[in-house]
A and B are shown apart, each in its own frame.
Chain A
């Protein structure tokens, strides 16, 4: 599937991006292209500037140099769900939609994330995973050309996270927006993305296209090595084969 996407007419094109906080240059000459419908995962140590890059792409923050070409209004899912506690779920999902047919569109989007029977419920009655699903519905109902996800599953428990991966995979395959998923979870990146980027020192330091030929296990070990984390020993007695994160 990933090979069918050729980055000729990119949805996102970033050239020499610079972003500073005061004296500190967090992003320093970063280049990035994301094709239409391509799913890109961005890995990197905590504090390396992933969120900063995503905020520049979403237009939330100004940039200090270079150029950013991105769809005018990408949809964003943050690490926290950011649901309006005073609005019902369907009102939350339809935030920003024209009033005409808003409820129907919200209902369809909520059904897609498995919450079609909770239209009039309050956000406070949701679990963490359900709230994040509503946030996902709110992003997808906009039919965005570009979807920006900033560690949206980091706060979820392992089992819920796996379920979310399956759901996201299915929804992205259906709606086909370009996706930039920021994560610090190597397994998550390998499981979802067409291409994995690694950010270091304010720029993209490493890139790996995932093809059906390469085994996920070898890609994972390659990425872990690149991140400076030794891959775990084979079949250890007491370690579960859980995800390996870079924190």
Chain B
């Protein structure tokens, strides 16, 4: 699990005493910081250079535009599609599919996870079946989903849900199992009811694990969406790409790829933000503190 940069954490956690107790900068730490800035700059030089080489290769004609368009051409296409509004329409359609699929799959995975986490009976009844289905790469079910749902919205949401269920399920069960038995003993000593124990102790204790599942499920959701959309759709980013393929519009195809990447990165940072919000008590996420 990557930690966000320390500055962001310090700003986030500004109320904590540790943030206030920052040592004064010494010459040495200043040197270290300028070295870090240098490294940070260097880490950006390489990708920018790569982009420039790509641009140069396309402009000089070494790479035909039907094979790979110049980055500038992709940017131009993005601008055009955005100004007609069609790009946002397709983006919206894709996002809605992903969100609905994620919500459905997440709810099912969480419910099953809670059930199995709490009840040995439910575990005996459910767990082995789920584990067996999980062993199947869920994308292999694609042809089957097309027969069941056609290539409509239902098929896409189903595939996304299917991919999301398992990481959420597994991490929910794991999280509930990992709750410290000493805290459960405390719940008995304090006379907590069953429901209060779940709400105050078990679910918060399971939350780090559940959020790990959410993060993983987000990545899976995007993979499922790309595959489902590419096979057949009347709208959405995948449709945009497949439509462009007919006309060898590699600029549009590359644009959709870039957008998929951006959305993937965006959803990951949302998940990270969620972790830092909900787990600010946790030394690994909340930053400073002993």
Give B185-205 as 1s and 0s: 1 = Cβ < 8 Å from A's Cβ atoms: 110111110001000110011
Stretch at the interface among B109-117, B151-159, B279-287: B279-287
Nearest residue (CB) in A for B279 is A86
Which of A76, A80, A84 contacts B204 (CB under 8 A)? A84
Give B112-149 as 1s and 0s: 1 = Cβ < 8 Å from A's Cβ atoms: 00000000000000000000000000000000000000
Complex: A80 Cα to B207 Cα, angstroms: 23
A183, CB-defined interface residue at 8 Å: no
**How near does chain B come to A213, taking the closest CB pair, in angstroms?**
37
A73 and B281 contact, CB distance less than 8 A: no
**How near does chain A come to B16, taking the closest CB pair, in angstroms?**
7
A247, CB-defined interface residue at 8 Å: no
Q: Which of under 10, 10 to 19, 20 to 34, or 35 or more describes the interface residues of B?
A: 20 to 34
Nearest residue (CB) in B for A135 is B186
B17, CB-defined interface residue at 8 Å: yes
Q: Which residues of B contact A96 (CB under 8 A)?
A: 190-192, 196
Q: Which residues of B contact A241 (CB under 8 A)?
A: none
B281 and A60 contact, CB distance less than 8 A: no
B201 and A84 contact, CB distance less than 8 A: yes
List CB contacts (< 8 Å) of A78-103 with chain B.
78, 80, 82, 84-87, 95-96
**How near does chain B come to A66, taking the closest CB pair, in angstroms?**
22
**How near does chain B come to A223, taking the closest CB pair, in angstroms?**
29
Complex: A155 Cα to B18 Cα, angstroms: 24
B22, CB-defined interface residue at 8 Å: no
B185 and A86 contact, CB distance less than 8 A: no
B266, CB-defined interface residue at 8 Å: no
What 8 pairs between A and B have smallest CB-CB spacing?
A96-B190, A86-B204, A86-B281, A76-B189, A82-B186, A124-B289, A122-B281, A73-B191
A sample of 9 cross-chain residue pairs with beta-carbon separation below 8 angstroms, ordered by A number, consists of A85-B281, A85-B282, A86-B207, A86-B281, A87-B200, A87-B204, A87-B281, A124-B289, A125-B290
